[in-house]
Amino acid sequence: MLTNKQTTQSIINVIPNPVIIIDGKKIIMANKNFLEFFKMSSLEQFLQKYKCICDLFQDKDGYFSLSSIDENIIWTEHIYTSNKKHKVSILCNNNNSHLFHLSVEKINNNYLVVFTNITASEQNQQLENMAYHDHLTKIYNRQMFDKLYNKELANHKRYGDNLSLIMLDIDHFKQLNDAYGHDIGDIVLITLSELISNHLRENDVFARWGGEEFMILLPRTNVDIAYQKAEELRKIIDNFKNKIPHFTASFGVTAVTEYDKELSAFIRVDKAMYQAKVNRNEVVQL
């Protein structure tokens, strides 16, 4: 046990975050902010209702819970020895989830656990993610593409790096929807997005432009390499076999040059794509 329990209690009460001291299995001390958060008058009251704080950690993607570690491992020791940050989602009395970063330090044979509330920042991140990503395919939407395009365009004009655009459109998509239904059409959109995402570089920008049209921005890439990439992607899509109907896409490719103003590069790549759609499942460079 800790020596001078009264002093320790006074110290952790000063910390503005919820704080507990735990022996690995049972909470032996909690500060005022922890008790206030759970609307408890004492630690004894909390322990009568909950065996361990860890039992309140919800199973959510990206968040720590007991299901993510072996049952024989002490969760505080796991977090203490781990180099990565851990987030938890805690279901509170009002059935609302609150999100926290966990910090764990060892004091003798006990663990000091500090909970930093990140609910607001995580919610803002989720809202931002929704604002800049297509709801169906989970790739960037047109708004985010425009933002990143302007950034790369500024770099292009400043440093003279190559910059290329690829635009693609799923062939006969309306007929596919009419024949098989919109659910299959959605699966085709998702499948195409995954196929292309898996064959792009980390700094390439891939977005749903609208409907069945997509745009790819390739920084530091000349137009010949961009054409090769478009041809590679065209073949990957054409050769893809699954339970869904076979589909193809037509590609337009162009370089962004110092002579381009406002939307001229987009107009050119759009024209190239529609030339490719004359015969379908082709790549045209302008």
Burial annotation 88-116 (CB, 10 A radius, 16+ → b, else e): bbbeeeeeeebbbbbbbeeeeebbbbbbe
Three-state DSSP state, 239: helix
Give me the residue label for tokens 């001291």. 21
Q: Which of 44, 71, 122, 212 is catalytic?
A: 212
What the block records as the tokens of 120 is 């607001």
The Cα-based distances of 65 to 17, 81, 95 in angstroms read 20, 16, 18
Sign of CA dihedral 80, 81, 85, 86: negative
β-sheet with 163-170: strand ranges across: 205-210, 213-219, 163-170, 249-255, 283-285
What the block records as the tokens of 187 is 């699966």
| DSSP state, residue 53 | G
Three-state DSSP state, 62: coil
Asked if 212 is an active-site residue, the reply is: yes
Instruction: Bin 183: left if φ > 0, else alpha if -120 < ψ < 50, else beta.
Output: alpha
Q: How far apart are CA 189 and CA 137, in angstroms?
A: 7
What is the number of other CB atoms lying within 10 angstroms of the CB of residue 4? Answer: 9
Contact 137, 37 (CB under 8 A): no
* Positions marked catalytic: 212
